[in-house]
Amino acid sequence: MSVENLSKTTNKILLVEDEFNIAKLFKYNLTKAGYECEVAANGREGYLMAEKVKPDLIISDVMMPEVDGFEFRKMLLENPDLKKIPFVFLTAKAEEDDILEGYNLEIEDYIIKTSSPKIVLAKVSAILKTLEKERSKVVGEVQKAADSMGVKVVPEEFPKFDGFEIKHWHLPHKNVPGGDFIDYIKVDDDNMIVVLGDTMGKRWGAWYFAVAYAGYVRSATRFVLESSADYRPSQIIQKVNESVFRDERISEVFITLSIIIVDRKNKKLRYSGAGDLPMFYKSGSSVESFVSQGLLLGFSQSGEYEDHEIDIKSGDEVFIVTDGITESRNAAGEMYREEGFTNFLKSLKPETDSLEQIKNEIFSYTGGELDDDLSLIMIKCI
Tell which CATH classification among 3.50.50.100, 3.90.1150.10, 3.40.50.2300, 3.20.20.60 matches the domain 4-146: 3.40.50.2300
Rounded to whole angstroms, the Cα distance separating 317 from 231 reads: 23
Other C-beta atoms lying within 10 Å of the C-beta of residue 265? 10
Query: What is the pTM (predicted TM-score) of this model?
Result: 0.66
Tell me the C-alpha distance between 195 and 276, whole Å.
12
Q: Mean pLDDT check: name the lowest of 100-114, 316-330, 339-353.
A: 100-114
Element (H or E) spanning 195, and its range? Answer: strand 191-199
Domain boundaries, the chain: 4-146, 151-381
Describe the strand order of the beta sheet including 191-199 as a list of residue ranges. 180-188, 191-199, 255-263, 268-274, 308-311
- Span 248-271, average pLDDT: 86
- pLDDT mean across residues, the chain: 85
At 108, is the pLDDT very low, low, confident or very high (cuts 50, 70, 90)?
confident
Top pLDDT among 93 and 31 is at 31
Per-residue pLDDT of 140-193, as tens digits, reads 555 565 555 445 788 989 999 999 999 999 998 776 666 888 999 999 999 999
Asked if residue 363 has pLDDT above 80, the reply is yes
CATH of domain 151-381: 3.60.40.10
Residue 306: phi and psi, rounded to 5, are -125, 160
Q: Is the pLDDT of residue 136 over 70?
A: no
Predicted confidence band at 6 (pLDDT cuts at 50, 70, 90)?
very low
